[in-house]
Amino acid sequence: MYLEKLDPEGSGRFAFLAYDQGLEHGPADFRPNPPSASPQFVLELARDYGYSAVVFQQGVALATHGVYPEVPRLIKLNGRANLYKGEPDSRLLCSVEFAVRALGARAVGYTLNPGSEQEGRMFAEFAQVVRDGRSFGVPVVAWVYPRGKAVPNDTAPEVIAYATRIAFELGADIAKVKWPGDFESFRWACEAAQTTRVVLSGGVKTEEPKEFLDVLSQVLEAGGAGVAVGRNVWQRPAVEARAISKEILALVRSYRP
Ligand code: FBP
């Protein structure tokens, strides 16, 4: 019922265009192709190719309020900069209520860092976000990135399967995780998630679009529900960003759960 907000046709597939890197990574991410990496262009891409939603922090959502209002917004509720190199701690910056009422959010997102010293606080905060999501009728997407001193390999298959299971245990509708390296491991992550849908986290831009699209095909074949991608799209020049968007959406739509 909640996922209908992102998927009115009930396809069970999702393609999110992530644009919260300005906070998480800083403006260096946007330098390769500034025109392709503007909020305006990202919204245009989402509108033209039918992404399920764009992912914005509160500030970008406010700055683009009313621009292509037909494009669904997934508002990222917590976040952190990467200047501090200690244990990850990503705090709530926007409430579900503000996201829905003032920003028109169709869904909300939250990053969990299992393994961090701040894990307990993030879990508790996220559990409240899930309850608020239910109260306000919006789906909740968990970015699950195990991280910190206790996690030497954040893409090990058992770590990624644990990540999706945590999302399920805490009540996420969708879990977004990194590629664990092979088809079987991603399948395990989908099984561990039970009723929580699992999407791939895009990652660093690949040299050739095909490398990224091949991974996405495996994700979908393994039972994944789609992708949340940013740099692999808007770090390419505009024409290429459009071409890869077309391919991503065609691929995601071609699979049926
Ligand atoms: P990309 O496709 O650019 O990797 O974006 C996905 C994403 O999860 C963003 O939503 C987020 O800002 C970023 O990756 C976090 O990346 P990191 O793994 O460096 O924390």
For ligand 1, residues with CB inside 6 Å are: 18, 20-21, 24, 55, 143, 145, 201-203, 228-232
Length of the chain, please? 257
* Cross-strand bridge partners of residue 229: 17
Closest C-alpha residue for ligand 1 atom 11: 21
Q: Is 176 a catalytic residue?
A: yes
Closest C-alpha residue for ligand 1 atom 20: 24
Q: Is 19 a catalytic residue?
A: no
For position 186, what pLDDT does the model report?
98
For position 8, what pLDDT does the model report?
87
Gap from CA of 234 to ligand 1 centroid (Å): 13
**What are the tokens at 157?**
């298959």
Averaged in consecutive runs of 10 residues, what is the pLDDT profile of the chain (257 residues)?
Answer: 86 97 97 91 98 98 98 98 95 98 98 98 98 98 97 98 98 98 98 98 97 98 98 97 98 86
For position 1, what pLDDT does the model report?
64
Active-site choice (19, 49, 110, 145): 145
SS3 172: coil
Gap from CA of 88 to ligand 1 centroid (Å): 14
User: Which domains can be identified in the chain, with CATH numbers?
Assistant: 2-6+13-254 (3.20.20.70)
With CA atoms as reference, report the closest residue to 42 among 77, 74, 14, 10.
74
Gap from CA of 145 to ligand 1 centroid (Å): 10
Q: CA-CA distances (angstroms) from residue 129 to 58, 89, 142?
A: 15, 16, 10
- CB of 103 within 8 A of CB of 75? yes
Question: Pairing state of beta strands 91-92 and 78-79?
Answer: antiparallel
With CA atoms as reference, report the closest residue to 147 among 158, 132, 159, 139.
159
For position 171, what pLDDT does the model report?
98
Active-site choice (176, 178, 205, 255): 176
For position 257, what pLDDT does the model report?
63
Gap from CA of 203 to ligand 1 centroid (Å): 6
